[in-house]
A and B are shown apart, each in its own frame.
Chain A
Amino acid sequence: MQKWLKVVLSLLAVLAFFLGVWLIGRMINPNLNLDETALLRFVFVGIGLLIVLVVYLLTSKNKMWEVGTRQVVYMAIGAALFAIFSYLFNGTVFVVPSVSQVALRPAIAIPMFFGYAFGPVVGFFTGAVGNMFGDALTGFGLSPQWSVGNGLVGLISGMVWLFADKKKSINVVLLVSAVLAAAITVYYFLNPSTSNAMFFDVDNGIFGDAQISMFAGVSVLIGLAIVLIVRFVFGKNIDVAAAVTWAMLGNLVGIGFAAISDIWINGYPPVVALVGEFLPAAGPNLIFAAILVPILVAAYAAVQKQTGR
């Protein structure tokens, strides 16, 4: 109880401080415009964590939220792998040429796979902490909203654990994702001349200002198509099918959260955030997920069979 009191008191103190700044600042200069972008970063982290909390409270009875030794080790492994892979493939260590404005960022398959295989807690930790350490390794600045976004990718991939029958969940998830993908692609066709904020090509002097390519623009649809192919070709292997579909939903929601929060944080217009940032990040992620996640799921199933665990 005392601990709570301390937290509440310190929060009140911070609030009082900012109220004071605002009031005193207004007296000095009546034309002051409060500039809130710096705070919004942290506000959005709060919103993201709130989403997680609500999801948890709604489903807290489910055993997928239990954290034992196994989960602690898996979340650490996942986060470390995600950090290492995103560090290696961010373009500073391996320079892999991008195809049609799409850079290779295969690391995203890690939180999806860990979320799917080991549950939402492991998935969230893998995405959020892994992204944080990956950014720290690279020396990039702080963008905590992307950490929470990547965490959500893992969390939602793990939501499959809610369903005793994986097969039933797949179709609903596919439908929801298809609607989201279709909506964003229509939005792209309405604004095809937006620049691709995620594309950098030093040699050719392109730094996030080139017009988004057709391929990047429809990449979410391409990703959806591959996911559908995987779903129906490997339909008998329900694990593979469930993993890709849930990973797709996680990717759309998690990256969507990060991109949408950039509307307020970086002051992007909604078009830039959705078409220039969300599409070129989420679309290729889907393609990587649809190819790499099934391979990981199959390899993991083989290991499980071998060790009997």
Chain B
Amino acid sequence: MLVAWRYKQRNSLLQSFDPRAWIIFFSCFLAGTVVFWDFRYLLFFFAIALLFVFTSRIPWKDMSRAWLFIIGFILFFSVLTFFTGRGGMELYTTEHTLTKLVATFQIFGWTPTLNITAEKTMYAVSMLIRVFSIASMTILIPYSFNPAHYGIIFRGLGLPDKVAYGMDLTMRFIPTFGRDFSLTMDAQKARGYEIEKLGGGLFAQVRKLAPLIVPVTIHAIAGSEDIIDAMDLRAFGVGPRTWLEKLTYRKRDRVLIALGIAILLVSVALSLLGFGKFWVPAFLLG
């Protein structure tokens, strides 16, 4: 029933750390990245992300789908920015036009015009680096962490046993339900269901989603009885839980945690002092 993530022991830099230490570092990294909009500060986080990606030893063919998705996503956001500058609105108020692209054709009397401004460009670049850093660090997790360690990691981070085990199960269920969803969709398609032709008004559309959502949900709940029985038979939650494997912090893990916390504190301190706001190089403002 369980479909696994594509984990393998790869002796990569990431895997040489204790997963708990890496999760702490990762959270600090995320929190540090989101406080900055300045391209130059983001480059630092970008470099860290690249370091982990290039030392991850995950073959391209394993990750290609995930990467293509990320790239598509990033391009979508950059294109989105270029057409509108939306999202940057809170960051800058004036724009300096670099060039103006005017289409040579007209659609119903409207000439498509694209204003390329210094602010938009820098916003797109900053956004790209920001999203790439976050997404690439996140995507390494399922490839690098042993699924058997999920529960131990969350327990080791100080969560109660039951919550840790709940998180463990959640991460194991996600790929399973993903597969169940595509199976259900195929089954419904074989019965003539067409998701591509979701027409009609809002209410009709929502109602038409029920044949996908309800079977997957109910199947998951009905199938959970076996898991519950198996856990109950092993006396889940009766006493304090012990875990099969133990994780221990070594020196390098402590260094990584210290580094992460240092990055977080310095980032928050810098942003509190007003550094790292949206930045446009002076030569673009010309």
| Pairwise interchain contact B30-A142, C-beta atoms closer than 8 A | yes
Residues of A within 8 A of B83 (CB): 202, 205, 207
Measured CB to CB, the closest approach of chain B to A222, in angstroms, equals 9
Which residue of chain B has its CB nearest to the CB of A107?
B213
Measured CB to CB, the closest approach of chain B to A294, in angstroms, equals 10
Residues of A within 8 A of B222 (CB): 303, 307
| Pairwise interchain contact B174-A84, C-beta atoms closer than 8 A | yes
Residues of B within 8 A of A59 (CB): none
In the assembled complex, A77 has its CB within 8 A of some CB on chain B: yes
> Given contacts A18-B272, A77-B224, A307-B225, are A72 and B169 in contact (CB under 8 A)?
yes
- Interface membership of chain A positions 284-297, coded 1 if the CB is closer than 8 angstroms to chain B and 0 otherwise: 10011001100110
- Interface membership of chain A positions 211-244, coded 1 if the CB is closer than 8 angstroms to chain B and 0 otherwise: 0000000000000000000000000000000000
Interface residues of A in 110-145 (CB under 8 A from B): 110, 113, 125, 129-130, 133, 136-139, 141-142
Residues of B within 8 A of A97 (CB): 198
Interface 9-residue window, one of B9-17, B47-55, B200-208, B242-250: B200-208
| Pairwise interchain contact B221-A76, C-beta atoms closer than 8 A | no
Measured CB to CB, the closest approach of chain B to A5, in angstroms, equals 15
In the assembled complex, B4 has its CB within 8 A of some CB on chain A: no
Which residue of chain B has its CB nearest to the CB of A85?
B213
| Pairwise interchain contact A296-B170, C-beta atoms closer than 8 A | no
Residues of B within 8 A of A267 (CB): 90
- Interface membership of chain B positions 195-235, coded 1 if the CB is closer than 8 angstroms to chain A and 0 otherwise: 10010011101110110011011101110110110011000
Which residue of chain A has its CB nearest to the CB of B238?
A69
In the assembled complex, A109 has its CB within 8 A of some CB on chain B: yes
Residues of A within 8 A of B169 (CB): 72-73, 76-77, 80
- Interface membership of chain B positions 80-118, coded 1 if the CB is closer than 8 angstroms to chain A and 0 otherwise: 100110110110000000000000000000000000000
| Pairwise interchain contact B34-A207, C-beta atoms closer than 8 A | no
CA–CA, A102 to B201, complex, Å?
A: 11
| Pairwise interchain contact A96-B205, C-beta atoms closer than 8 A | yes
CA–CA, A125 to B227, complex, Å?
A: 19
Which residue of chain A has its CB nearest to the CB of B272?
A34
CA–CA, A22 to B171, complex, Å?
A: 40
A: contact size bracket: 35 or more
Among candidates A69, A81, A125, A200, residue contacting B237 with C-beta atoms closer than 8 Å = A69
| Pairwise interchain contact A296-B217, C-beta atoms closer than 8 A | yes
Interface residues of A in 71-120 (CB under 8 A from B): 72-77, 79-81, 83-85, 88, 92, 94, 96-97, 99-100, 102, 104, 106, 109-110, 113
Residues of B within 8 A of A207 (CB): 80, 83-84, 86-87
| Pairwise interchain contact B181-A74, C-beta atoms closer than 8 A | no
In the assembled complex, B44 has its CB within 8 A of some CB on chain A: no
Chain B interface residues (CB < 8 Å from chain A): 30-31, 34-35, 69-70, 72-73, 76, 79-80, 83-84, 86-87, 89-90, 130-131, 134-135, 138-139, 162-163, 165-174, 176-178, 181, 195, 198, 201-203, 205-207, 209-210, 213-214, 216-218, 220-222, 224-225, 227-228, 231-232, 236-237, 265, 268-269, 271-274
Given A76-B173, A142-B30, A296-B213, 8 new contacts (CB under 8 A): A32-B274, A83-B170, A106-B213, A125-B166, A129-B170, A202-B83, A292-B209, A300-B221
Chain A interface residues (CB < 8 Å from chain B): 14, 17-18, 21-22, 25, 29, 32-36, 38-39, 41-42, 67-70, 72-77, 79-81, 83-85, 88, 92, 94, 96-97, 99-100, 102, 104, 106, 109-110, 113, 125, 129-130, 133, 136-139, 141-142, 200, 202, 205, 207-209, 266-267, 284, 287-288, 291-292, 295-296, 299-300, 303, 307, 309
